Amino acid sequence: MPDGTVLAGLADEQFCYLTTTGRVSGLPREIEIWFAVNGPTLYMLSGNRDRSDWVRNLLHRPEVTVRISGHILTGTGRTVDEQSDEDSMARRLLVDKYQPIHDGDLSNWGQTALPVAIEFQE
């Protein structure tokens, strides 16, 4: 995993760029997405839950890359177990980070979206 201070130093960035491998095409697919960091783990929320192409790609092939402010990190993605402590923590982290800078109310998104975690390799 990357040095914890590197990931912590990137936590205030507004977006990360997640690259998955297309489950049909086998080609790299990059999206810009909101994220939050807790220790060595990066969290994202999928508003379309497991219907989002990026989530479906990640479930098919969990090896991903994440680019944040010029840093490229290699990791493994997974969905977070619903109703777990990690689930509520991930939701809270993302809503707390983005609600102050977002015009609309993010509480519904924070309650219904699917949390996804990326854990980084050494």
For 56-81, what is each residue's pLDDT tens digit?
999 999 999 999 999 999 999 999 99
Q: Which helix (H) or strand (E) holds 6?
A: helix 4-10
Looking up tokens 């924070």 gives 110
At 1, is the pLDDT very low, low, confident or very high (cuts 50, 70, 90)? very low
**CB contact at 8 A, 36 and 43:** yes
**CB contact at 8 A, 77 and 118:** yes
> How much of the chain exceeds pLDDT 90, in percent?
89
* Token code pair at residue 61: 């092939």
At 120, is the pLDDT very low, low, confident or very high (cuts 50, 70, 90)? confident
**Mean confidence (pLDDT) of the chain:** 94
pTM for the full predicted model: 0.93
Q: How far apart are CA 89 and CA 92, in angstroms?
A: 5
Q: How far apart are CA 91 and CA 95, in angstroms?
A: 6
* Residue 56: exposure state from Cβ atoms within 10 A (0-12, 13-18, ≥19): middle
**What are the distances in angstroms from CA 61 to CA 21, 37, 78, 101?**
7, 22, 10, 33
Domain 4-120: CATH class, spelled out: mainly beta
